């Protein structure tokens, strides 16, 4: 499964686990109001147009597109991403000594430290640099790679596809003091327990929810078990 967000809209690409009949195809994507479609070759432009038009709708939602095989999905994705200007970024999920997760409040949303990969810099190096720049935390030790998220956004006439590589960091100290980067629109921060995290989702981004759910499932759940 591959999710690509465009602001509050999620376009989800997945392989059909069994033959599916009765769903509309991507040939009629712009006319149908359904949330599930079968992929039809040659409809890349229709999918892209549909994808970028979804900001017109008033609330977050998801549309799923089914592919006949993993190979078909991968071939489509490689062509699809070429229609955007691609940007790579590194992001940090920080867990403190009490097992709480660091969130920052940026531009009206709960977010995580992240930023573009600079030339001659790896995504993990970018994640650590952005973490220090945006929070001032130097206690965080990089532990392991996590997952990737994808989202598109517009600047003027250009449409960008940002691929964020996420990494886990740990601080031994409980709730270390952070000094957030005001000039980057960060107003405050908060250490949040895993049980409290879902309450932040309505004021967060879909990509942030996905990476945190990955951490809860793949990192914190095995530790608690």
Specify the pLDDT at position 225: 44
User: Regarding the domain with residue range 87-196, which homologous superfamily does it belong to in the CATH classification?
Assistant: Nucleoside Triphosphate Pyrophosphohydrolase (3.90.79.10)
The predicted-structure confidence for 121-154, as pLDDT tens digits, reads as follows 999 999 999 999 999 999 999 999 999 999 999 9
CB–CB of 6/12 below 8 Å?
Answer: no
Phi and psi for 38 in degrees, rounded to 5?
-90, 135
Domain ranges of the chain: 2-83, 87-196
| Cβ neighbours of residue 71 closer than 8 Å, sequence gap 6 or more | none
Q: What's the pTM value of the predicted model, to 2 decimals?
A: 0.94
Q: Which structure tokens are listed for 37?
A: 């479609």
Nearest residue to 114 via CA among 88, 95, 140, 138: 88
Listed range (115-119, 147-151, 217-221) with the worst mean pLDDT? 217-221
- Reduced to 3 states, what is the DSSP secondary structure of residue 129? helix
Is the pLDDT reported for residue 161 higher than 60?
yes
């Amino acid at each position: 499964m591959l999710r690509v967000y465009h602001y509050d809209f999620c376009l989800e690409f997945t392989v059909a686990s069994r033959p599916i009949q009765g769903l509309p195809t991507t040939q009629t994507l712009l006319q149908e109001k359904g949330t599930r479609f079968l992929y039809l070759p040659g409809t890349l432009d229709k999918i892209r147009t549909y994808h970028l038009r979804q900001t017109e709708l008033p609330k977050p939602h998801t549309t799923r597109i089914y592919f006949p095989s993993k190979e078909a999905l991968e071939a489509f994705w490689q062509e699809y991403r070429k229609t955007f200007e691609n940007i790579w970024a590194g992001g940090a999920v920080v867990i403190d000594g009490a097992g709480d997760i660091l969130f920052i409040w940026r531009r009206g949303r709960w977010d995580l430290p992240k930023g573009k990969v600079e030339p001659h810099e790896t995504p993990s190096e970018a994640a650590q640099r952005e973490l220090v720049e945006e929070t001032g935390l130097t206690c965080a030790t990089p532990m392991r790679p996590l997952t990737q998220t994808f989202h598109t956004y517009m600047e003027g006439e250009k449409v960008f596809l940002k691929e964020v590589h996420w990494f886990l960091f740990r601080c031994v100290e409980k709730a270390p003091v952070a000094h957030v980067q005001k000039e980057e629109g960060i107003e405050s921060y908060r250490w949040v327990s895993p049980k409290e995290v879902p309450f932040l989702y309505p004021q967060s981004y879909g990509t942030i929810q996905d990476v945190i759910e990955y951490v809860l499932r793949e990192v914190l759940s095995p530790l608690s078990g």
